[in-house]
Amino acid sequence: MTSSLTLRAALVSVLLLAVFLLIWQGATAGFGAGGTGVPSGMDPEYAKLMGLTATTGKSALPSPVEVGAGLWNVLTDPFYDKGPNDKGVGLQLAYSLGRVLIGYGIAVLVAIPLGFLIGMSALMSKALDPFIQVLKPISPLAWMPLALYTIKDSGISAVFVIFICSVWPMLLNTAFGVASVRKEWLNVARTLEVGPFKRAFTVILPAAAPTILTGMRISIGIAWLVIVAAEMLVGGTGIGYFVWNEWNNLSITNVIIAILVIGVMGMLLDQMLAFVARLVTFPE
Amino acid sequence: MSEPRYVSIEGISRRFQAAGGRTTTVFDDLWFSMSKGEFACIIGHSGCGKTTVLNILSGLDRPDDGAVVVDGTAIEGPALDRAVIFQSHALLPWLTVLGNVAYAVSSRHKRWSRAQVRDHAMRFIEVVGLKGSENKRPSELSGGMKQRVGIARALSIEPKMLLMDEPFSALDALTRGTLQDEVRRICLETGQTVFMITHDVDEAIYLADRIVLMTNGPNATIAEIVQNPLPRERRRLDIHKQADFYAVRNHLIDFLVERSKTFKDQRPAGYDHRHPPVVRPTAAPQPSPDGDKRAA
């Protein structure tokens, strides 16, 4: 029975989470038991400088309860803005999402028409293949210096990096999907004297849509992976910058919260495209 | 033939590049014409180029020599006056039954309103007996129903000619019989000109007015054209009790088993590509117009 399977799976999930949280709580609590004051023989000035956590033996890693409390604070006030280095996680997330959506959107506009061209023309497919083969394996971050130098704007450079990393899976999947549309469907359109433009929209696009969506799903995943790294480099705003800034603040709690938020957002983006993919998938 | 040549295949050949730069001639110098409202079947072994002939008739393929003329105009490419019923039904799986038929209708009548397209499509869905299933997707249909949609789609554009590539070969015997009955009924009612490929001798006898026999490929030719001696009013129930049924059947099977291989080497005297021998196998021995002694 599927319902009971879902139920049992949910139970196991909850159990695993509980075990994980318990071990975490135990591990972080254990270190704190040692000493409370400044250890003897250490210069009090030095202890102050280093921070109490480093000198008393208490772990810098927050306990799950602390993270939970921090998460509550973040979730109840996600959009505050108290200057460049103190913005709410929601606001930072919005900056990152904005960059991803712009870069990804431009990539969609470029990759899908170009993919159609490659998929429909054997000549273009062969002619563009060497470029794609060389450009595809380049780490998107390797483009960053070039982007910064030519564009001279860190925000747009980050968008460019998102564009360049999300364009390849979509391009290749679109080309593959278009090239492998069943010949008989194309023949149906030909015998009905359907023009090339209408044919592209009424036969090739729906036939290739599931493959294209797969490419789009891979791309959004990569874009979301890359934005964090890109924002760590360019700085200023965004969830990636937030992570790095909180690391510099040695606020491990906020780093963990950011990691959680990044994971949940990535899942939501993927689920949205999975939903669209289900809409365009057809059973044969 | 004295009838007008509504469809005329005039000396077509088709060659393919084989490995090593050699060319293979699939079939060579085929001549055949059909009158309006005629049902012709073409029979031959795999590799004799039956499907290529059909593709040339549909315009999806081009002959290397020769031409095909339909209703006074040479075929330049695929056109709406010739509808194809594909062996694999070739329905667009993301459209419903109605969507698939309406796609053809709206391609034929570009200026029609949605309601007009819908009504016209529904009429042909009814003709093939699929009323009530118009909103189903092809994946929800049985093989026979899918092929019915293919037939409705082909008929809905009201073509001058219907081309069928083994339309019933993927169906079970019972469904095949029912569909053959319906295709025959529809074609007789509408006076449709039909060219059909088949492997099934009984199907050819039941449906066709004339049966084109092709020799084995490569370099296939039309060996002869068999006039179906059965009356046009025939019923599946008692077709095998008709006097001439076994005469035709034996003639066709004899050709497929034996003569399709040997014909090339034993061409009858005076064989002419333009006028392949016409035979009319009947129960009583009767010389054919070309003097072919095997006609009985």
Q: In this predicted model, what pLDDT tens digit does every residue of B209-266 receive, in sequence order?
A: 999 999 987 889 999 999 999 988 888 888 888 888 999 999 999 999 988 888 888 8
Contact B196, B42 (CB under 8 A): yes
Cα gap B259→B216, rounded to integer Å: 9
The CB-side HSE value for A85 (13 A sphere, CA atoms) comes to 6
**Partner-chain contact B92 A206, CB within 8 Å:** yes
Answer for the pair A169, A215: CB distance below 8 angstroms, yes or no.
yes
Q: What's the mean pLDDT when you consider all of chain B?
A: 88
The CB density around residue A160, as the number of other CB atoms within 10 Å, is: 24
pLDDT for residue A163 is more than 90? yes
Residue B84 to residue A187, Cβ atoms within 8 A: yes
Q: Choose the closest CB to B60 out of A182, A187, A284.
A: A187
Residue A199 has pLDDT above 90, yes or no: yes
Contact A283 B82 (CB under 8 A): no
The closest of A229, A260, A265 to A244, measured between CA atoms, is A229
User: What confidence score (pLDDT) does residue B202 get?
Assistant: 92
> What is the average per-residue pLDDT within B112-126?
95
* H, E, C per residue of A5-36: HHHHHHHHHHHHHHHHHHHHHHHHHHHHCCCC
- Any residues with CB less than 8 A from the CB of B142 and at least 6 apart, and which? B175
Q: Give the separation between CA B58 and CA B78, rounded to whole angstroms.
A: 6
Instruction: Tell me which of A237 and A55 has the higher pLDDT.
Output: A237
Q: Is B246 at the interface with chain A, CB within 8 A?
A: no
**pLDDT given for residue A23 in this prediction:** 92
Radius of gyration from C-alpha coordinates of chain B: 20
Beta-sheet pairing, B193-197 with B7-17: unpaired
Q: What is the mean pLDDT of residues A114-136?
A: 94
Whether the Cβ atoms of residue B22 and residue B209 lie closer than 8 Å to each other: no
Q: CA–CA separation, A5 vs B265, rounded Å?
A: 71
Best interface-test mutation with A: which of B62, B92, B108 has the largest number of A CBs within 10 A? B92
Report ipTM for this prediction: 0.86
pLDDT at residue B60, rounded to an integer: 93
What is the reported pLDDT for B248? 92
Chain A: nearest CA to B101, how far in angstroms? Answer: 11
Q: Is A98 exposed, middle or buried (0-12, 13-18, 19+ CB in 10 A)?
A: middle
Average pLDDT over residues A107-120: 96
Interface of A with B (CB under 8 A): 182, 184-185, 187-188, 190-194, 202-203, 206-207, 280, 282-284
B296 inside 8 A of chain A by CB:
no
Query: How close A189 gets to chain B, by Cα (Å)?
Result: 9
* DSSP 8-state code for residue B232: S
Q: Is B86 on the interface with A (CB under 8 A)?
A: yes
Q: What's the pLDDT score for residue B274?
A: 86
Q: Is B109 on the interface with A (CB under 8 A)?
A: no
Instruction: Write the pLDDT tens digit of every residue in B19-57.
Output: 888 888 999 899 999 999 999 999 999 888 899 999 999
Q: Is the pLDDT of residue A33 over 50?
A: no
The structure tokens listed for A192 are: 């009905």
- Which residues in chain A touch residue B59, judged by CB atoms under 8 angstroms apart? 190-191
CB-CB neighbors (< 8 A) of A283 in chain B:
93, 137, 139
Question: Cα separation of B166 and B180, whole Å?
Answer: 11
Phi-psi region at B37: left, alpha or beta (left = phi > 0; alpha = psi -120 to 50): left
Q: Is A96's pLDDT higher than 70?
A: yes
> Tokens representing A255?
């780093």
Average pLDDT over residues B63-82: 92
- Probe site for chain A from B107, B108, B162 (most A CB atoms < 10 A): B107
Q: Do A283 and B139 touch (CB under 8 A)?
A: yes
* Whether the Cβ atoms of residue A201 and residue A209 lie closer than 8 Å to each other: no
Q: Do B84 and A282 touch (CB under 8 A)?
A: no
pLDDT given at position B22: 85
- Per-residue confidence (pLDDT) for residue B234, from 0 to 100: 85
Q: H helices within chain A, ranges in order? A: 2-32, 44-50, 52-56, 64-76, 89-120, 122-135, 144-151, 154-179, 183-191, 196-199, 205-234, 239-248, 252-280
The confidence score (pLDDT) of residue A26 equals 87
Q: CA-based Rg of chain A, rounded to a whole angstrom?
A: 25
User: Looking at residue A62, what is its pLDDT?
Assistant: 87
Find residue B41's DSSP bridge partners.
B196, B211
Nearest residue of chain A to residue B102 (CA atoms): A192
pLDDT of residue B290: 54
User: Cα(A216)–Cα(B276) distance, rounded to whole angstroms?
Assistant: 59
Buried-state track A236-247, b at ≥16 Cβ within 10 A, e below 16 = ebbbbbbbbbbe
Percent of chain B with pLDDT over 70: 94
Amino acid at A217: R
Q: Is B94 on the interface with A (CB under 8 A)?
A: yes
Res B124 pLDDT > 70: yes
Q: What is the rounded average pLDDT of the residues A113-134?
A: 94
Residue B293: what pLDDT? 47
DSSP notation for B110-151? TT--HHHHHHHHHHHHHHTT-TT-TTS-GGGS-HHHHHHHHH
Residue A229, pLDDT > 90, answer yes
Using CB atoms, pick whichever of A188, A206, A280 lies closest to residue B90.
A188
Give the pLDDT of residue A43.
74
pLDDT value, residue A61 = 82
Q: Which residue of chain A has the CA closest to B137? A: A283
pLDDT of amino acid A151: 92
| Lowest-pLDDT range of A138-147, A222-231, B97-106, B179-188 | B179-188
Q: What is the mean pLDDT of residues B262-284?
A: 84
Q: Confidence class of residue B268 from pLDDT cuts 50, 70 and 90?
A: confident
Q: Average pLDDT over chain A, rounded to whole?
A: 89
Does the pLDDT of residue B2 top 70, yes or no?
no
- Chain A residues in contact with B92 (beta carbon < 8 A): 185, 188, 203, 206-207
Among the partner-chain residues B86, B94, B157, the one whose CB lies closest to the CB of A184 is B86
Query: How many Cβ contacts (< 8 angstroms) between chains A and B?
Result: 57
| pLDDT reported for residue A158 | 94
Q: What three-state secondary structure class fits B218?
A: coil
Judged against a pLDDT cut of 70, whether residue A71 lies above it is answered with: yes
| A203 chain-B contacts, CB cut-off 8 A | 92
